[in-house]
Chains A and B, each alone.
Chain A
Amino acid sequence: MTIHTLLPILTALIPLPPFFSFLLIVLFFNRWKRVSHSIAIGAMFISFLMAQVVFWSVIGMGGHALAEHPIHVEIPWLPAGATALTMGVLVDPLGAFTLFFVSITCLCIFLYSVGYMSEGGRHYDPRYSRFFAYISLFATGMLGLTVADNMLMLFIFWEIMGLCSYLLIGFWWEKNYPDPRQITPRQAGLKAFMTTRVGDVIMLLGIAYLYTATGTLSFRQVLNESTLHHLASMASVIPGLSAAALIGLLLFGGTVGKSAQFPLHVWLPDAMEGPTPVSAMIHAATMVSAGVYMAVRMFPLLQVGFDAHHGQLSAPMVAMAVIGTFSAFMAATIAVAQNDIKKVLAYSTISQLAYMVAALGIGAYVAAAFHLVTHAFFKALLFLGSGSVIVGSHHEQDMMKMGGLLKRMPITAITFIIGGLALSGFPILTAGFWSKDEILAAAWSSNQVVFWVLAIGALLTAFYTSRQICLTFLGEPRSDHAAHAHEVSWTVYVPLIVLAVFAAGFGFIGVPEHFPVIGPLINNNLFHHFVGATIGELLPHGEEGFNAVPLLISVLFALTGLVGGWLVYGRRPLAAGQPDPMVRALGPLYPVLKNKYYVDEFYNAVLIQPTIRLARAVYQWVDRGLIDGILHGVAKGSFQAARGNRWFDKTVINGGVDAFVAFFQRLAREARLVLQTGQVQHYLLQVLFFVCAFAALYVILWLRQLGG
């Protein structure tokens, strides 16, 4: 049996080890911390190995070959009429790279969690084992989603991840804050679940519509020419939209929810209440990426009607472009005014995901996939670094109170800077540069509005990243916590180093062929050709030659942002207590940015409070008034009936019987008094009386006999 016949089975096995880890920890090993984390990391390592085996095996096949003959196996699972819903695995070029980065980042984060949740072995979290159980289950979800071959299976694992997200955000559910407006982990978990639920319902509608329109949910069957053509020509319930367009829009709704795009972005910043490994894994590298991943997978459906040469976008693409661009810009502006180290990264995540969505919106799906992978690496790195900072400085999360950590936590600092540069798109040396530049290049040739907005977003990204780095690591410590900061443990900084390597080096597999100097040196834009083969070339871009203008503009903006941030925050580092210069610079705009454009307040006023009031009204009037009223009425009625019955029972029946008995008792008493005198002669008289009676009887009988 060659490796190639094993591959489908191996692929199917990839999501299983973390699942068993979850079961084992939950059922048996909850009490033993070291055993639990060993099981979890061991299981994740097995999945990692299997994923890498699969990846490296298929990478040699070449993109086109793999796209046409992907690793695929499916089994019928749920009979539904004539056909059956199937379960199966599929590894095509997109899935292969996703497996690659998901397995690496998850393994790094698992290892990191050992150090984080035990604070370097000094203070173990009381629910340490449970944490590992949850993240194992989550890893199952993500890996399963990656290898899923149909929409239903994808949705199942999507929901598993949603559950884990809820559980993990609210991991410290007992934590409460004195300020009632500050969201607690419990509330944040609920908020995340509810908000993504909105997106999930929309996506489920899309899935259902897809199923009714085509009778299948398998990717291979839906995403081929004839099916797509059929869907494109089918009219949907909304005039002007074909079935394909409507399905695409509905599915995109799931992405909006899961990948935290406007207007469903509100849960992601509050999800930072969860432990930092959770933020890294779920809310940076994997789960939020799943939204984009799904969109890239379904891109053939989403782009039905897309005509690149005439710049005609399909309806879902328009939605993606608009929402993506807007979210990218909005989130970047908010990030500038945030002081919590994790909140900056949260808004940054929203912004970067929006870049991917916008890229899809203009048809650059390969660029979107590329940025997906690089973003996972450097965002995970940044989050883990921030976690290291937080634990190392004894749970200080406010950047205004940090400073001078470069000297005290050098490994964290350097890896963080690498990640930050990648995020900003520092030219050449960082992976983020290559992926972001590809998106901007695609935007330049398709839609100038999108390009300029994204470019300004890139500038802001660089600025707030530089701000973050300067405030956290440069200058002098602005609080005692920062002054006593230290590295946590090897389990914390080794993953940082691994991820930093990828953040810096991964980009080189995506260098466009026509890039000056470096292009020809590196293997023919491996990523582009490999992953691009999944769907096929759509944009008139690579073949036309290399365009330097967008490149130069993006480099300029990135450097400007970085230098600007350094000028404000790095050159003369802030002292303790000194206010943020941005406050005065932005003036009245600052509170708006700090309060996230008051979107949460808007939702609360318009959606949540009325719902609560409606619920309360229904509770009062329908539940308590009507239903309970009926129940109480029935109860009272029964009770009254019972009382009446009892009265009848007591008075009529008991009374009747008692009176009857009393009558006879009186009769007997009277008789006794008469008959039982105690005097023998009276008794004898009674005997005599009866003797005479009997005698009379006999006489009469004898006479009768005589006469007869």
Chain B
Amino acid sequence: MTLNADYESPRRSEANATPKLDERIGHPMTLLPTYAPVFLIMAVAAALAGLFFILASVLGKKNPTPEKMIPFECGSESSGGNHVKLSVKFYLTAILFVVFDIETVFIYPWAVQFRSLGALGLASMGTFLAVIAVALVYIWKKGALEWET
């Protein structure tokens, strides 16, 4: 039962109760009509981006002067190298992103199959979410989420 009504996706209700292996993983010949448009839109995107790029290079005038060539810093003279030292916080954020985003991906298949998994599924995912919550509390208490300098 769905939450509000007995709605089933027309695709799913029209399919057989037990689809053949080819139907479940997609036969190469049935995958083509699905993914060919993706490649087509990729080509369109690349063509648009390339067209803009080439037009900008061809039509845009070029008049370099020594003043223009220095890195723009609101008129003040640039000093030192342009690769400044970075706060370690940025690396920490990147690591935290990887950890939490991968956990999100683990939850997706469970979310789609939630109804068929029932109470047991909820309990197991509850345990998994509790582990994530503990990790979040840990990094919180360790001060990894603090940005005051």
Q: Do A and B come from one complex?
A: no
